[in-house]
Amino acid sequence: MSFIEFLDSYITANKDVAIASLQGCLRIPSVKDDATVAPGAPFGKACADALTYTLDMCSAAGMNSVNLDGYVGYAEFGPEDAEEHVALLGHLDVVPPGDGWTDGPWDAVVRDGRIWSRGTQDDKGPTFAGVHGAIALLQSGAELRHRVRLIFGCDEESSWQCMEHYFGAAGQPMPKLAFTPDAGFPLYHAEKGSFTATVSRPLGVKSGAISGFTSGLRPNMVPDKATVTSTDESLISQLVAVFPDGVKITSGGFQVTGVSAHGGAPHGGVNAAMLLARALAEATGDSTWVTLVDLCDCDGRGAGIDGSDDLTGPLTLNVGVVNIVNGQLEVVINVRYPATWDDSVLQRCWDNLADRGWTLNHFDHTAPLHVPVDQEPVKTLLSVYRDHTGDMSAPKTMGGRTYATSVQPVGVAFGAAMAGDPEVAHRPDENISIERYLQCIRIYGDALYRLANVDA
């Protein structure tokens, strides 16, 4: 019996088990929770429970499971004398459910051929499809050249301490080849580089009557509200004249509204901080507001770093958070730059911002990902996808960031959404069709089998 024949018989025989095991994990509300942080549970109890649940299941199937202090864990099988391993990286943490659900977000109800729950698409559903594909591979007894490792992270939706711990304090080796089932098919072989920076600039004397300015919640969202507070009645009157739809707030404040959007696509929104800064620049003549308006340019022109490449398109810049702190205007920007660029864009940004009077206080940087299409694992994964679906679509690129950046340049994002699937990740009524889930078990099982036998 070929491995594919075995895989098909496994899926037929274990369909109910595969669904029930996923439901069990979906019913653990694994949102990061600071209130229940404890030793072995760095992201709270539910994330730790989801990890234990998944590792226990892999152990019961005969894999060697290791929990790395609750940050992340892995389950492994294959030839003990193999020097290298291939890996699937999935995450078990989820974003908060929010409102608007038809069924409870943690009920994992099966209805209309679909499973409905937070995490069905992002990322427990695809991860468990990988787990069952791996169990089938282990049970088949197929010969493997490399070991197979399933890596389960618990902090993907927040600060990525999981992967930091895995390759840092826990000292785990890089896989030979890897994929993360956390985006779409056929696969994403390039991801833009990104950095988030906090910069500040003193307000001039002309802004003396302004006591506060607040806008934005997160660096990667376009702010849809901006509020200024001032004792200067004539300034507020000027703002009322510019923004007839704005809201006057008691105790001398004024709020304007923009349109929120994802920080990776800031052109799709209207930055409320920029709207208000433009009016304040006009009203006060203070150059700090003028430079903030410049900085809000979505192409990065105001930071002197605009540009693009053929692979991933233009650089984008989002001004995500603005506040007055100790007489300084403090601004958090999120930049996503083309994947073929090197990190000299950071220095260029700092130099240009310094020329405009901004001081750099803090930054985080993630290098871009680019695996050429004629290299592994792209070659093997693309042929797996094409063999299973007949869809010859070309590999894609994205401005976001997946676990593939943690294992570059040997990993890419591979599935699990297909063209036409509802886009429900991070939204109410997140769901996955059972048909897609079972198909992914087949695709991921075959992908692990073929990667584990790649030459050299």
Using the contact rule CB under 5 A, the part of the chain among 33-41, 64-72, 81-89, 174-182 near Zn ion is: 174-182
Question: 108, 116 in Cβ contact below 8 A?
Answer: yes
Stretch that binds Zn ion, among 36-44, 136-144, 181-189, 347-355 (CB under 5 A): 181-189
CB closer to Zn ion, 185 vs 449: 185
| Nearest distance in Å: CB 182, Zn ion | 4
Rounded to a whole number of angstroms, the minimum distance from the CB of residue 94 to Zn ion is 8
Count of residues binding Zn ion (CB under 5 A)? 3
User: Which active-site residues does the annotation give?
Assistant: 93, 156
Q: Which is nearer to Zn ion, 272 or 440 (CB)?
A: 440
Question: Least distance to Zn ion from the beta carbon of 122, Å?
Answer: 4
Nearest to 400, CA basis, from 435, 429, 425: 425
Site of tokens 């999120």: 334
Neighbours of 145 (CB within 10 A): 16
The dihedral through the CA atoms of 440, 446, 452, 456 has a sign that is: negative
| Contact call for residue 155 and Zn ion (CB under 5 A) | no
Nearer CB in complex with Zn ion: 78/125: 125
How many CB atoms neighbour CB 298 within 10 A?
22
Nearer to Zn ion, 71 or 358 (CB): 71
Give min distance, CB of 228 to Zn ion, in A. Answer: 36
Which positions from 305 to 324 touch Zn ion by CB under 5 A, shown as an x/- string? --------------------
Strands 188-191 and 396-398: parallel
Nearer to Zn ion among residue 345 and residue 425 (C-beta): 425
User: Of 413, 410, 408, nearest to 85 (Cα)?
Assistant: 410
Whether residue 186 has a cis bond before it, omega within 30° of 0? yes
Choices 97-105, 176-184, 248-256, 294-302; region in contact with Zn ion by CB under 5 A: 176-184
Q: DSSP string spanning 423-449?
A: --TTSTT-EEEHHHHHHHHHHHHHHHH
122 touching Zn ion, by CB under 5 A: yes
Q: Does 123 bind Zn ion (CB under 5 A)?
A: yes
307: amino acid identity, one letter: G
- Find the binder of Zn ion among 49, 76, 182, 286 (CB under 5 A): 182
In the complex, what is the shortest distance from the CB of residue 422 to Zn ion, in angstroms, rounded to a whole number?
16
Q: Got the DSSP string for 212-281?
A: EEEE-S-TTB---EEEEEES-HHHHHHHHHH-TT-EEETTTEEEEE-B--BTTSGGGSB-HHHHHHHHHH
SS3 call for 46: helix
User: Cβ closer to Zn ion: 122 or 286?
Assistant: 122
Select the span of 117-125, 169-177, 337-345, 441-449 touching Zn ion (CB under 5 A).
117-125
Q: How far is CA 400 from the centre of its chain?
A: 6
The Cα 157–Cα 32 span in angstroms is 8
Stretch in the footprint of Zn ion (CB under 5 A) among 115-123, 250-258, 374-382, 436-444? 115-123
Q: How far apart are CA 298 and CA 312, in angstroms?
A: 16
> CB of residue 360 vs Zn ion: minimum separation in angstroms?
30
Q: Name the residue nearer to Zn ion (CB basis): 36 or 158.
A: 158
> If binding is defined by CB under 5 A, does position 224 make contact with Zn ion?
no
CB of 382 to Zn ion, least distance (A): 21
Interface with Zn ion by CB under 5 A: which residues?
122-123, 182
